[in-house]
Chains A and B, each alone.
Chain A
């Protein structure tokens, strides 16, 4: 195996805008909001940045293409800016680019910034109508909730879980995230919700109801990375370093070959295994302190916890109902509210997950601060269960 990224890169600073229906802001204002906090936290001058990665997923509804929108908005010093897009995993992709630049020695300071301004389309839900001219001729008339709802039907079939049990378990996933989101002033949805409300909400794509779907939000998040040595030289304490960055992309076997039963994320199983190896983690269920995973839909989170090798396959729903992932459980998951409540501005989400890990590891998470977390893991998924990009990052204290 390659030597990997472990402890080669440190997070020097991070920032995150308030997420939500930001009728007051365009993508540019959101970018600046996250960047200002990030640059101040890093404690460097903008002219010290040597490269930047910029992530958005649906650029046609806000900033457009290329690295120019970031460079222009922030008036960056004519450095390389790379625009990345890997659907909902774009944020982690920007972070990966910046980290690799630092690890390679090509840059001492690199910026990763993700943004998505979704609430200018005139309708709810994610913008539709993407895909090329061939897709348009044959792909099903689907939506994100419809694609992920099928993960639920396939999961129930594969593991003999009743509709009622599954609905309760995925209801608990959302209930827990609402509890957490209520303590996060930057979250889109900051209201705790009763279980009954969740279970009786209108159906979006059966069996997923309204509360099984994450928020469609505007927002931006950013990170400046450097090497641990430079961070130390700058006088930083409580340094957070990158332990693993792995990405696995479907090659069509799930969507086109009858070996996949639809009940799990093939890619997440691969990416997480590689990440544990890269980070030197032997027993993730004991070693990881907290998770921010891609809960675009409640059932996604449930299944993901199995594919990250934390819950046993087919038993994740029981761990969820046992409160294993609650704020006071063994491994808190979505302590910031997750995509469900913090919100899901697509290009920013991967960076927002890391933002929470970074705050928690530095003891700066305010009323939702966990006790002495050491290792945090993020999981950022783009696409649909049958065809996706699964991106995982492990960060932890640098010792």
Chain B
């Protein structure tokens, strides 16, 4: 029996207040007034679809071992690299490389569900597949998309043991209905008229797909407890459910009020939302639209209640900081030619050969533990750092990303270039041993104190814009 064995999510801490964004742009686009309520998630300057997918995957693997994962599917329409396996970065960050199939899935808003179908099918023989979906879509200033989109990620682990949601069936159709597109060189989406999309797209493509799925699963519409269907038009999912005989009460909230539409990740984000509260016996239908339709039906099992607690969507949603500064949103998204000063000009060229040699250290935050004296240290080195040991070539790899740490000393630096000044950084120490001077992120003055507990998080360190945007990733400390 194949199905979902664990789930996780990630939502950036910042939430852009839509009224504030509207207020900045209403002189130009007064028609957006109806959208000027609630908030949308907003990635910090050091977050992208990879970093969010890593966090969602870590959340998902709270209960499972990363080394048991045999394949990773990473769905997004905003993969940071066109040619470089994005899913492989996630794997390295999770410290899995060997015996691993990694694949990027993109090109459509149904990439998340397509990745999930691939992951489920790859797991039929018992091998675990990790499916991560994440999007950080850009939108034009003063557009509806700017207010409707959100940044976020979800991750699902597929397998055959202790399944919490059994796959009942799935079905797909693929047709080149271009409701919107983003060309190779484009930063933003270009879309056609909504009424046409509703009447010729959703209304004609989705209902037959749902019907075929229900028939294959030997189910009626009324058997569905949770109906998940992302759409930029909130009335559409209700209409689709009605046409299929699915109860209106089953239609899941689109999470627009506090999160926004997370693109290719959204169907899976909504699925995680549903799984958090679902009960054994519940049947969940997931529908994703995008040049065709993917549909999946799951049945929640009794195993669900045994799944160890994780942060999940609700946990990450609860970690929230309101952002009313629309200019900051523009600057973080590189939409504002802000004067960064000469300190922003330092070359960010990455020696790829160094990155390869040190990938477990840089992407996996793997330090060392001395076999002679037991001292944990970062980075792993040739000679033990313990002044009373100094044993040579004595260290075994020691993964530190999952360890909590504490602030020993810190500063708020206004001199160094940071996209979000002042730059917080400081010496962090791990109770197991080991310390290093780390950048802090998602930090406010009130939170950063000597002794404060921190959690390591995978983030963008630099963006090498001289060479087409090679992003350097490393781990930063964030307040727990």
CB distance from B38 to the nearest CB of A (A): 34
Instruction: Give the most central of B378, B426, B434: most A CB within 10 Å.
Output: B426
Count A interface residues, CB 8 Å: 42
Interface string of A124-138 (1 = CB under 8 A from B): 010011000110111
**8 Å CB interface, B353-390 against A:** 354-355, 358, 361-362, 375, 377-379, 381, 385-387
Contact A143 B381 (CB under 8 A): no
Q: Which residues on the A side are within 8 Å of B325 (C-beta)?
A: none
**Complex alpha-carbon distance, A219 and B435, angstroms:** 37
Query: Does A313 lie at the interface of the complex (its beta carbon under 8 Å from any beta carbon of B)?
Result: no
Contact A139 B437 (CB under 8 A): yes
CB distance from B32 to the nearest CB of A (A): 36
Q: Which residues on the B side are within 8 Å of A203 (C-beta)?
A: 412, 414, 422
Query: Does B461 lie at the interface of the complex (its beta carbon under 8 Å from any beta carbon of A)?
Result: yes
**8 Å CB interface, A124-172 against B:** 125, 128-129, 133-134, 136-143, 145-147, 149-151, 153-154, 157
- The residue from A133, A143, A151, A257 contacting B415, defined by CB atoms under 8 A apart: A143
CB distance from B198 to the nearest CB of A (A): 48
With A137-B461, A140-B439, A259-B387: A150-B410 Cβ-Cβ less than 8 Å: yes
CB distance from A296 to the nearest CB of B (A): 13
Q: Which residues on the B side are within 8 Å of A202 (C-beta)?
A: 414
- Report the stretch among B173-181, B230-238, B343-351 that lies at the interface: B343-351
Contact A153 B437 (CB under 8 A): no
- Report the stretch among A12-20, A177-185, A248-256, A349-357 that lies at the interface: A248-256
CB distance from B454 to the nearest CB of A (A): 13
A123, closest chain B residue (CB): B342
**Complex alpha-carbon distance, A147 and B437, angstroms:** 9
Contact A262 B427 (CB under 8 A): yes
Q: Which residues on the B side are within 8 Å of A139 (C-beta)?
A: 437
Instruction: Give the most central of A151, A205, A386: most B CB within 10 Å.
Output: A205
Query: Does B222 lie at the interface of the complex (its beta carbon under 8 Å from any beta carbon of A)?
Result: no
**Complex alpha-carbon distance, A145 and B425, angstroms:** 12
With A137-B354, A203-B414, A205-B412: A257-B439 Cβ-Cβ less than 8 Å: no
Query: Does B418 lie at the interface of the complex (its beta carbon under 8 Å from any beta carbon of A)?
Result: yes
Query: Does B63 lie at the interface of the complex (its beta carbon under 8 Å from any beta carbon of A)?
Result: no
Query: Does A120 lie at the interface of the complex (its beta carbon under 8 Å from any beta carbon of B)?
Result: no
Query: Does A258 lie at the interface of the complex (its beta carbon under 8 Å from any beta carbon of B)?
Result: yes
- The residue from A137, A151, A154, A253 contacting B474, defined by CB atoms under 8 A apart: A137
Query: Does B128 lie at the interface of the complex (its beta carbon under 8 Å from any beta carbon of A)?
Result: no
Contact A256 B378 (CB under 8 A): yes
**Complex alpha-carbon distance, A147 and B416, angstroms:** 11
**Complex alpha-carbon distance, A255 and B438, angstroms:** 11
With A128-B346, A257-B385: A137-B362 Cβ-Cβ less than 8 Å: yes
B445, closest chain A residue (CB): A206
Query: Does A122 lie at the interface of the complex (its beta carbon under 8 Å from any beta carbon of B)?
Result: yes
Contact B413 A153 (CB under 8 A): no
Contact B358 A153 (CB under 8 A): no
Query: Does B436 lie at the interface of the complex (its beta carbon under 8 Å from any beta carbon of A)?
Result: yes
Query: Does A261 lie at the interface of the complex (its beta carbon under 8 Å from any beta carbon of B)?
Result: yes
With A157-B450, A252-B381, A253-B385: A140-B437 Cβ-Cβ less than 8 Å: yes
Q: Which residues on the A side are within 8 Å of B387 (C-beta)?
A: 251, 253, 257, 259
Q: Which residues on the A side are within 8 Å of B412 (C-beta)?
A: 203, 205-206
Query: Does B472 lie at the interface of the complex (its beta carbon under 8 Å from any beta carbon of A)?
Result: yes
Q: Which residues on the B side are within 8 Å of A134 (C-beta)?
A: 351, 354, 358
**Complex alpha-carbon distance, A258 and B377, angstroms:** 9
Query: Does A204 lie at the interface of the complex (its beta carbon under 8 Å from any beta carbon of B)?
Result: yes
CB distance from A162 to the nearest CB of B (A): 13
Contact B375 A257 (CB under 8 A): yes
Q: Which residues on the A side are within 8 Å of B343 (C-beta)?
A: 123, 128
Contact B385 A256 (CB under 8 A): yes
**Complex alpha-carbon distance, A204 and B450, angstroms:** 19
Contact B437 A261 (CB under 8 A): no
Query: Does B122 lie at the interface of the complex (its beta carbon under 8 Å from any beta carbon of A)?
Result: no
Query: Does B142 lie at the interface of the complex (its beta carbon under 8 Å from any beta carbon of A)?
Result: no
Q: Which residues on the B side are within 8 Å of A257 (C-beta)?
A: 375, 377, 385-387, 433, 435
Query: Does B423 lie at the interface of the complex (its beta carbon under 8 Å from any beta carbon of A)?
Result: yes
**Complex alpha-carbon distance, A154 and B411, angstroms:** 10
**Complex alpha-carbon distance, A253 and B435, angstroms:** 10
Q: Which residues on the B side are within 8 Å of A259 (C-beta)?
A: 387
Contact B377 A256 (CB under 8 A): yes
**Complex alpha-carbon distance, A103 and B433, angstroms:** 45
Query: Does B409 lie at the interface of the complex (its beta carbon under 8 Å from any beta carbon of A)?
Result: yes
B451, closest chain A residue (CB): A157
B341, closest chain A residue (CB): A123
Contact A142 B408 (CB under 8 A): no
Contact B355 A137 (CB under 8 A): yes
**Complex alpha-carbon distance, A258 and B429, angstroms:** 7
Contact B423 A255 (CB under 8 A): no
Q: Which residues on the A side are within 8 Å of B426 (C-beta)?
A: 140, 150, 153
Interface string of A248-291 (1 = CB under 8 A from B): 00011101111101100000000000000000000000000000
CB distance from A12 to the nearest CB of B (A): 41
Q: Which residues on the B side are within 8 Å of A253 (C-beta)?
A: 385-387
Contact A146 B413 (CB under 8 A): yes
Q: Which residues on the B side are within 8 Å of A125 (C-beta)?
A: 415
Contact A143 B375 (CB under 8 A): no
Instruction: Give the most central of A146, A204, A206: most B CB within 10 Å.
Output: A146
**Complex alpha-carbon distance, A122 and B347, angstroms:** 16
**Complex alpha-carbon distance, A122 and B343, angstroms:** 10
Q: Which residues on the A side are within 8 Å of B472 (C-beta)?
A: 136-137
Contact A137 B358 (CB under 8 A): yes
- The residue from A121, A136, A140, A262 contacting B425, defined by CB atoms under 8 A apart: A140
Contact B408 A261 (CB under 8 A): yes
- The residue from A138, A143, A146 contacting B362, defined by CB atoms under 8 A apart: A138
Q: Which residues on the A side are within 8 Å of B435 (C-beta)?
A: 255-258
Contact A150 B415 (CB under 8 A): no
Instruction: Give the most central of B355, B361, B435: most A CB within 10 Å.
Output: B435
Contact B415 A205 (CB under 8 A): yes
**Complex alpha-carbon distance, A259 and B377, angstroms:** 12
Contact A142 B427 (CB under 8 A): no
Q: Which residues on the A side are within 8 Å of B346 (C-beta)?
A: 128-129
Instruction: Give the most central of A128, A138, A140, A203: most B CB within 10 Å.
Output: A140
**Complex alpha-carbon distance, A129 and B345, angstroms:** 9
**Complex alpha-carbon distance, A258 and B432, angstroms:** 10
Contact B378 A206 (CB under 8 A): no
**Complex alpha-carbon distance, A259 and B389, angstroms:** 13
Q: Which residues on the A side are within 8 Å of B378 (C-beta)?
A: 256
A124, closest chain B residue (CB): B415
CB distance from B19 to the nearest CB of A (A): 32
**Complex alpha-carbon distance, A157 and B452, angstroms:** 13
**Complex alpha-carbon distance, A149 and B461, angstroms:** 22
B475, closest chain A residue (CB): A138
With A138-B362, A153-B410, A256-B435: A146-B425 Cβ-Cβ less than 8 Å: yes
CB distance from B356 to the nearest CB of A (A): 11
CB distance from B419 to the nearest CB of A (A): 10
Q: Which residues on the A side are within 8 Å of B462 (C-beta)?
A: 136
**Complex alpha-carbon distance, A307 and B133, angstroms:** 54
- The residue from A137, A149, A154, A255 contacting B437, defined by CB atoms under 8 A apart: A255
CB distance from A45 to the nearest CB of B (A): 45
A208, closest chain B residue (CB): B411
A135, closest chain B residue (CB): B354
Contact B411 A150 (CB under 8 A): yes
9 contacts between A and B (CB under 8 A): A129-B347, A141-B413, A142-B423, A143-B416, A150-B426, A203-B412, A204-B414, A251-B387, A258-B434
Known: A136-B472, A147-B411, A256-B378. 5 other contacts (CB 8 A): A137-B350, A153-B409, A205-B412, A256-B381, A256-B385
Q: Which 8 A-B pairs have the closest CB atoms?
A: A129-B346, A133-B351, A150-B409, A146-B413, A149-B411, A256-B385, A140-B425, A154-B409
